[in-house]
Amino acid sequence: MILLESPTKWSDYELIDSGSFEKLERFGPYFLIRPEPKALWNKTMPEKEWLAAAHTKFTTGAGFGRAGKEDSGTWHRLKNMPDQWQVSYKKGGLDIKMRLGLTAFKHVGLFPEQAPNWDYIYKNTSEIAEINKGRGMQPPKVLNLFAYTGGASLAAKCAGADVTHLDSVRQVVTWARHNMEISRLDNIRWVVEDALRFVKREAKRGNKYQGIIMDPPAYGHGPDGEKWKLDELLFEMMESVKQILATQDSFLVLNLYSNGYSALLSDTVLKSALRIKNEKTEYGELFLQDKTGRALPLSVFTRLRR
């Protein structure tokens, strides 16, 4: 198992402190306080220092409903700041911009701990693109499922892929399109649809992808009311993905945020669904480290490279 920390030299992001079920972060020039259920320890800095640094603080509403879906809350402005702003992520040839915003569900349009996955996607897509070029083939096709605002889609596009970006929420697909435009990229294919339905249809059509990225939520709904529950549908999704993943010169990234899921579980699900015997996978946790050196684990992942 491997542990992957978000880059410490990322100029537009920093985890300042964490504890008491909250985290203090800097996105670009702005400091935010947000709930963090995994920050079980005490804060290092005094509360007054958090409040003095922060531009805004999010407080939750009723917490979590019976369906497990996070309820909305409120941002409390402590200093002047815009409703929307931009941050950049640069590493080698990977150069993207993301528009951030204060949403009703504490999210801002970016999960910074995903940066190591962006690096992995960029690196492997670049390698496969070179292989394809040497064989006189088209650029690799990469499918990003549950794609949100598109950080992973932009990483694949930067590496020269033919990218399909899918999410069931039209508003976040529009947000992702804006991120593509401000990153000076183009020609991403946008799909607003239920992910499992789309994958099964692609399998029937015989379509193949050399890269598949999956970041499914614990709960969700498709655009036509389709219900998604991770515990019930993840294995079926992975079995369907097997049918559209190229058998050579390809990669797959599975990321899971659901509480109670371990990296070993994600690896076992992937290997079982894809019927992997001799192929190697890598699995582990993505985490952020605050300025005192404490690690805040946020998601688990499994990655396959063929």
Q: Indicate which CATH number applies to the domain containing 43.
A: 2.60.40.1180
Q: Do 82 and 124 reside in the same domain of the chain?
A: no
Q: Do 278 and 157 reside in the same domain of the chain?
A: yes
In terms of residue numbers, what domain contains 26? 2-86
Say what the pLDDT of residue 164 is.
Answer: 98
For the cut 50, the answer to whether the pLDDT of residue 67 exceeds it is no
Numbers of helices and strands, H then E, in the chain: 7, 17
Q: What is the mean pLDDT of residues 204-225?
A: 91
**Are 49 and 67 contacting, i.e. CB atoms less than 8 angstroms apart?**
no
For the cut 60, the answer to whether the pLDDT of residue 66 exceeds it is no
Say what the pLDDT of residue 277 is.
Answer: 86
Q: Do 72 and 124 reside in the same domain of the chain?
A: no
Q: What is the mean pLDDT of residues 102-124?
A: 96
Q: What is the mean pLDDT of residues 90-112?
A: 95
Report helix, strand or coil for 255.
Answer: strand
Query: For residue range 17-33, what is the model confidence (pLDDT) as tens digits?
Result: 999 999 999 999 999 99
102 CB-near residues (< 8 Å, 6+ apart): 56, 58, 75, 83, 108
Q: Do 252 and 131 reside in the same domain of the chain?
A: yes
Q: Do 6 and 78 reside in the same domain of the chain?
A: yes
For the cut 50, the answer to whether the pLDDT of residue 64 exceeds it is no
For the cut 70, the answer to whether the pLDDT of residue 62 exceeds it is no
Number of domains in the chain: 2
Say what the pLDDT of residue 8 is.
Answer: 77
Q: What is the mean pLDDT of residues 201-221?
A: 94
Q: Which of these three, 55, 86, 117, is where a domain ends?
A: 86
Query: For residue range 223-241, what is the model confidence (pLDDT) as tens digits?
Result: 877 787 888 999 999 999 9
Say what the pLDDT of residue 4 is.
Answer: 84
Give the other-Cβ count within 10 Å of 1's Cβ.
11
Q: Do 37 and 147 reside in the same domain of the chain?
A: no
Q: What is the mean pLDDT of residues 128-155?
A: 98
If we measure between CA atoms, which residue out of 15, 22, 14 comes closest to residue 43? 22
pTM: predicted TM-score of the whole model, two decimal places: 0.94
Give the other-Cβ count within 10 Å of 275's Cβ.
9
Say what the pLDDT of residue 221 is.
Answer: 80
Say what the pLDDT of residue 71 is.
Answer: 63
Q: What residues form DSSP beta bridges with 163?
A: 142
Q: What is the mean pLDDT of residues 282-302?
A: 95
Instruction: Please check whether residue 99 lies inside any domain of the structure.
Output: no
For the cut 50, the answer to whether the pLDDT of residue 68 exceeds it is no
For the cut 80, the answer to whether the pLDDT of residue 212 exceeds it is yes
Q: Do 125 and 185 reside in the same domain of the chain?
A: yes
For the cut 70, the answer to whether the pLDDT of residue 153 exceeds it is yes
Which has the higher per-residue pLDDT, 64 or 35?
35
Q: What residues form DSSP beta bridges with 143?
A: 164, 212
For the cut 90, the answer to whether the pLDDT of residue 144 exceeds it is yes
Q: Do 65 and 147 reside in the same domain of the chain?
A: no
Q: At 120, which amino acid appears?
A: Y
What CATH number is associated with residue 146? 3.40.50.150
